[in-house]
Chains A and B, each alone.
Chain A
Amino acid sequence: MVNAERHEYPSYDALLDDYIERGWTDGLPVVPPSPEKVEQFLEAAGLNSDEVLGAVPTREVVVTAEHAAINAVMAGCRPEYMPVVVAAIRAHLHEKANCHSTTGTLSGASQIVIVNGPIRRELEINCEGACFGPGWRANATIGRALRLVIRNVCRAIPGFLDRASFSSPLRYSFCFGENEEASDWAPLHVERGHSADQSTATVHSTMTFVPCVDFTSRGPEEVCESWLGMLRRYGVFTDRFLGDGQNLVLVVGPEHQRYFLEAGWTKDDIRQHLWPRFQNPGPGDRPVMLGSPEGLLIVAAGGPGMAETWFMFPHLAWAITEPIQSIHTETGRR
C-alpha cells in the first residue's frame, strides 16, 4: 500500500509544472509516480512500502522503500531496476558513506554507482564503450533515481542543504557496470568478499573525476608511473571519522588494461606495485592517504581507442558495496 500524499492533475504538463515548481525534480521531466506504478516497483523489489532502507540522522530523515520506488519511477526506471536502486540507496546511507557531508559539500561531490555481477547483463547496464555517458536506460535512470532520493527525500536541494559552489553535471546521474568479461581480473565485488554470482552496487562519492590519458607507455610499470603522476598531483585526503577506510577508484580502459594482462598482472599486483610509492611523497607531492593497499579499488570498463584510465578521487567517504537482493518478477528477470 502506498502511503504518500496524493496529488491529481488534469494533464501531464500540469503535473510537470507543479513538480518543478515544488522542487521535486532535477530540472528534467519526470515520469508520474502513480500509485499503481509505485506498487509495481515495490513488488519488483519484494519490499513493503514502509521498509526502512536507511537514515540521515543529522537531517531527521528516514528513507523507506516507498520513497525509493516513487523516485525510481520518476527517474524513468523499469521495475526490474528497483533492486539495484535499493542497494545503491542502502550503500549511500551507510554511516561511512558520510552522506550528509558528500551531498551538502561546497565541493559538489557526486555519487557514482558501480554495478557488478550477473544483473549488469540482465538489465543491460553498459560497462563498455561510452559507459559513463548517455544512451543506456539502465545507466541513466538508476543513477538518476539515487540522485532524486538524495534531493527529494534526503533534502540535498541547492540553496537548502546542498551548498555546492558550482555543483557538477555528474549529479544528474552516474551509473555504470564493471566489464567483468574483459579479463580474468577478479571483479570489484569479488575482491570485496562477495561471490561472483552475487550482484552488487557500489556507491563512491567523488570530488574529482579526471582521466589519465597516456598513449606512450608500453608496459605495466610505465602506466603505473603515469598514474602516480596524477595521484601525486591531486592526492587523497582523509579525516579521523573515516580512519583507514578511504577509497580511491581507478577505472581502467582496455588499452591500459591490455598491458597489465599481457604481463600477467592482477589487480592486487597493481596495488602491491603502487602501495610503497604512495608512502614517500616527494617535495610538492600531495599525500595519498589510503589506510591499506585494499583502499585502492580497480575497475575494468570502457571501450577501445583512447589509452586512458579514469580517476575517481574520493570526497570524504568510503566506497560502500551492497548486495542486490533480486527476486523473480513478472518479466521473468531476476
Chain B
Amino acid sequence: MRLYLELAKKSFQNNIVYRADYFASLINAIVLIFVNIAIWKAINEEEGALGGLQLNILITYIVISFLMQTVYQMDEYFIEGKVRTGLISTDLLKPFYFRLFVFSYNVGSMVFKFIMQFIPAMLLSVFLFRLLPPFNTQMLLYFILSAILGYLVLYNINFIVWISSFWFYWTFSLVTIKDAAVMILSGALIPIWFMPTWLIDFIELTPFNAIFYTPILIYLGMMPEDEIFMSIVKQILWIIALFGIGHILWKRATKKLVVQGG
C-alpha cells in the first residue's frame, strides 16, 4: 500500500513541474465554461425555452461538468508508451502490480488536478457565474461518493481502451473515438434530460451516464432520495463489470506480449 501511495505522490509532484500546462488547462476550463454559459444564456432568451428550469441550475450543471472533466482527464498514452518503448517488460518484472501502478499514477495526477484546478476554478466560478452550492450537506456527501465512483467507471472504460495497445501499435484512433462517445453520451456537454427519449433510453443501458451525470444530478438535488441508492449501486455494478472485462483482456495481453526491440 505504501508503495502505491509513494507512486501516486511521485506522479503528483511530476505534475507540479509542468507549470505552463497547468495554467493552460486551467484557463482552458474557464474559457470553455464561459463560452458554454454564453450559449445557454442565448438559448434562454427565447421565452420559456428552458421550460421553467432556472438558468442558475443549468449554469451550475455546466460548471460542475467542465470542472469534473478537467479533473478526470487521464494520461491516455501511458500504457501505449510503455508497450511501444518496451519499458513494459522491465515494469512487469518489478515487484508491484502493474495495473495498480498505472492506477496510482493516474490517481496522483487526479489529486493534483483536484487541489490545484478544481478548487481554485470552483471558487472563481462562485464569483464569476454565481454557482449554486450543493443542495444540502447530505447531498454533498452523496455527490463526493458518486463522483469518486464516476471516476472509477471512466477509469475502467479507459483501461480497456489502453490495453488495446498490446494488439495495435497506435491507439490514437481508438482513444479519440472513445472520447467522442464519452463526451456525447455522458451528458458532459449537454444535460441528458434535454436529449430525445430514444437516446435517453439507450444511454440508460450504457455506463456513460454513471460518469458525470449521476453525480451532478445528486449535487443539484435533482435526484429523489430513493433513486440515489439505486444509481450508486448501478455505478458500482458497472465498475465491477468493466473491471472484469479489463481483467480478462489484461490476462490475455500479458500472455501474448511482444516487445518490438525496446
Determine if chain A interacts with chain B. no
Q: Which residues of A contact B (CB under 8 A)?
A: none
User: B: which residues have CB within 8 A of A?
Assistant: none
